[in-house]
Amino acid sequence: MFFSSIPSQRAVEALSSTRLAPFWLDRPDRPASVPELVGSEHADLLVIGAGFTGLWTALLAKQADPGRDVVVVEGGRVAEGATGRNGGFVSSSLTHGFANGMDRWPDEMPTLLRLGHENLDEIEKVVSDLGIECDFVRSGGLDVAVDSHQLAPLEETAAAATAMGHDHHVLTARELRRRVDSPSYLGGSFDPTGVALVDPARLAWGLRDACLAMGVRLFERTPVRDLSPREGHVMAMCRRGIVRADRVALATNAFPPLLNRLRHYVVPVYDYVLVTEPLTDTQWSTVGWSGREGVSDAGNQFHYYRTTDDGRILWGGYDAVYHPGNGFGPQFEHSRDSYERLAEHFLQTFPLLEGIRFSHAWGGAIDTCSRFSAFWGTAHSGRTAYVAGYTGLGVGASRFGAATMLDLLDGRSTERTELAMVRPKPLPFPPEPIRSWGINLTTASLQKADENGGRRNLWLRTLDQLGLGFDS
């Protein structure tokens, strides 16, 4: 299926009363903000950033050593960045999908698959043990083919994952449409255990509350301006205060990095999301979807979509917009063109939902690196550690990223730190203006490949050979 990106009048009308705000954060139960850091503080461990990576880091650090003095500083509010703006897919994948992992670390994939599933199990256990009410549902994930050339790769991936002990079921079009009914589906695969759905903001707020209960000190609206080593410590200069820390965990992801070296490895790309109004019983009868599976189509530029606990459909993806010079900020969080394109694609996928309206629309930045999955490193003679580059599957992988970062900070040799995935860094992005030119050419080439039966042009084939690329 070729998705037409020219918005119809029905798509425009579906957006006529849309609120420009993240659905997950537009809640009366959002926790009240805690005060900004003012003055001077000391910490055994300073965590910079209170999204998923930062919250998991603080929680795991306190669980391992309750006496460890942990301070978390957040430039805005908890879950205000990517953590509260994603689709709420909790994937077991640590490698941004099976195919990407096989391309880069084929010998380690059995281990990475096992560690990924163990990581997802641990997230589920924490949610249960702490009683976090975040609509966590281990519903599984569907990958759907909407063009004939997408069928064979899905079948090959399912067979390879199954051979490694993680069952993926190949589905015919008819079998797939019994789960979720769309005339665009030609077939697909089902991963019954590797994907969960969650309300990401409520998960983050639950982790926040758990951290506070364990004695973590949290300061919101406390952006760090400078980070530098000082006499055996690391000094974090904030807007109205200073933190002197023995160790620092950087969990800023797509935000402008505090370490200059990271500027060459991470670029922010903007992804956009729509959420419908609650569907009627009649509308649900046309779609089915009683199993609440998370769904993504198999294009280079792909959509991801899911249901919510109050009967809506969340629909996002496709566009991945890079703004020259690593453009980042609230001015990029909304795009009328992207919203209209997404609305049109939604109606092409579910034509029987004619007349649907979208209640919310928003965008957020994804921290992308050249290998599409997280990477780690240290600075300041090992006193500072970082993880970044999740490229869109960070809801689940962030816990693994946090645990690995703590291993590095504490100087522990573990199964995680010995991974080939963890030790080297990805290739850096080139400087501007070559960076913008390369990203834009890659994005256009990926779209052309989707339109031409998956055939990759010379540019994409060259990137394949170099282990580079750019993906939604």
Q: Is 406 helix (H, G, I), strand (E, B) or coil?
A: helix
Per-residue tokens: 318: 């496709």
- E-only strand ranges, 30-108: 39-48, 70-73, 89-91
* CATH superfamily of this structure's domain 31-135+199-266+369-429: FAD/NAD(P)-binding domain (3.50.50.60)
Residue 444 is predicted with a pLDDT of 83
Give every residue of the chain whose pLDDT is below 50, as ranges.
471-472
C-beta separation of 297 from 303 below 8 A: yes
Pairing status of strand 141-145 against strand 294-297? parallel
Q: Distance of CA 382 to CAs 209, 377, 408, Å? A: 29, 9, 8
Any idea which architecture 9-20+141-192+269-366 has in CATH?
A: 2-Layer Sandwich (3.30)
Separation CA 110–CA 330 (nearest Å): 40
User: Which amino acid is located at 201 in the chain?
Assistant: A
Q: Which residues of 14-27 are buried (b: 16+ CB within 10 A; e: fewer)?
A: bbeebeeebbbbee
Tens digit of pLDDT for each residue in 347-387? 999 999 989 999 999 999 999 999 999 999 999 999 999 99
* Cα 21 from chain centre: 18
Instruction: Please name the helix (run of DSSP H) or strand (run of DSSP E) that holds residue 185, with its range, or none.
Output: none
Q: What is the pTM of this model?
A: 0.95
Name the residue ranges covered by the structural domains of the chain: 9-20+141-192+269-366, 31-135+199-266+369-429, 434-466
Separation CA 204–CA 401 (nearest Å): 16
C-beta separation of 193 from 117 below 8 A: yes
Separation CA 241–CA 252 (nearest Å): 19
* Peptide bond between residue 223 and the one before it cis (omega within 30 degrees of 0): no
Residue 468 is predicted with a pLDDT of 66
For the four alpha carbons of 342, 346, 348 and 349, in that order, the dihedral sign comes to positive
